[in-house]
Structure 1
């Protein structure tokens, strides 16, 4: 979900490769370096199935987002779609859940960076990273398409090195000796893990917002969504399955830096710094974009009166909503000091799943003349988001519902008393 002000007459300069790189760059963040450890707890040896389920739900969400973006080209994502198609409350809850989920994502990215960079000092290192990134965003730093491509190449190179190490270890050859997929983990175990892994796919909707920037968007955007999501899904299946086999379920479930542990177990300790560098590039690059996006969403909601209007003020020199930037950075620092990586991933997944549930519900309201996607797409996306969100750990679900209830209460108070909260 983007919230920057729309520009007049954007140049259509991006091709399919550019759009795929942007989509892959939005997805290949810290998730691939961290999510498989908490996910394997519930799924066990069924981890590849959980990855596939998460990928299918993500694909449906991306298609629904793309069709809605074509009809509502203004910035805002489901904040706009929900308001226009379902009513103001649903649009507000989409924006609220986006901010809540992505703030948790910021914490997860920072904690992932710290877990790889300086194990044992995760909280202070993560807090310092958030402060540094917030300071960069405050001064108007942006990620260009070229920078996105460079980051994607670096992350892919690190993952390729990890995969090669796991293959050369010879442990993958032992897969034939595994007793099938092991015991059935239960529906909640498998689907809860898929909900966790969905966190690693979040970001694909960035492609859907490129309609005014790509050449031949009617063809380029669907193609880019399929290529980017398909490629990332295959990569996640390879990496997740490799980690499961090389480390085993028990060691993977307790690992804070799975990629480092994988190359160590594979017998290539010299590659550990490469994994640390890859995780740092992925997590800090994603953190930069996330803080930028969340602060812009917060400012947009403030401008609409859904949050304190003071947060919408733009810095005269740097041209950024600096108060929103500082608030988001401060909240993320509090989160990394109070919560662990697994909790941050699960809570982020809950918020983003709610956001996309509203997106799919909005897509169902598109008419046949509005290039509505095949009915199965938003239906599978909506049901999938609801089921995965409800399958996350109970404490996460209860906390998430409480936060959504708080958001609804703020909206109701504003509507009832006319106060611009």
Structure 2
């Protein structure tokens, strides 16, 4: 029986690892999360020790109480008692894991030394607590740009805060503030998990990583490698659009993201994602998000506006190669009347925006302590591909597609520290060409 309990416990751990660890994560991330699962294994060991003591007592009285023990064990199992003890009280030990990641970057534009800067881009502390075998809480707290105050550009924010429970059929349900399952970076955005000093433009300017919403989500992973996610959450608030600033031109959705901060919730949004990992090293997936963004705001000209964003993504890691691509497109409908109120302003609301990239990386040198990985990425994106119609002569021309080529390399030290360097060349605006240096960590 001791061996059976141990085998069951180890099976739970390894099955949990197979489900919880996305195949598209890098080697460092897999090892880091395995280390976290080790903490849960220690909890299971404590549970097994308690179960063994109870088993020894039962075995001593087995001959006299065989029928009673059998009945009690059946009752305990029916009530979800993991140890199968007669009282029906679970002996699962609770566990808490602390994690963190952060990055510091240096940027030097080719044609403007005055804009050269260093930035503590972000520092994040994560806390997860497992209440029992099926229920956990996940939280992440982030600080951006080093200093947060009324006169500084820094931010302090809750990046994630949700509880998740696994149902008996393997389905997982969660509620709270959680990341949207879109693209490749949004749910796996530690600096050790992506190539380049900064996150790519497609998954920041079009997909507003790191993008989270408050709501309820369902997910399940099947034996054939298929994972699906469904949910209903808060969405965007188009009444926040500032046509006099450039925020919407930098990232349409980031400028109207609510981030769980007193979020308007009259209009809720739906999302769905499908990912397949049936072949080792291969990830194929896609997602869609859609919801109205007016929220019945008084005297607002676009209460019927709807935001829709979808993406297709793939990642393949054969041997020492890491190949990935993402295509995404977004639309904001029913903005005609709203844009009439913005005539003369530099940034009306676009009706469509899109982006895609292709990326290749290769582990050129690797030993027990260091991994050196050069990479190259080519991306095209446009934050204002089209606008809704306005009277002739009063509209603004759509933007041209920006094309960015990034080449660089990273040096991982151990499994949790990374040094990065890259150079980025912009097709439309060469004044943005720049050298980037960075250091990051995650554990």
Report the structure number with the largest CA radius of gyration: 2
TM range (shorter): under 0.3
Which structure is richer in relative contact order (CA contacts within 8 A, separation 6 or more)?
Answer: 1
Report the structure, 1 or 2, having the larger strand content: 2
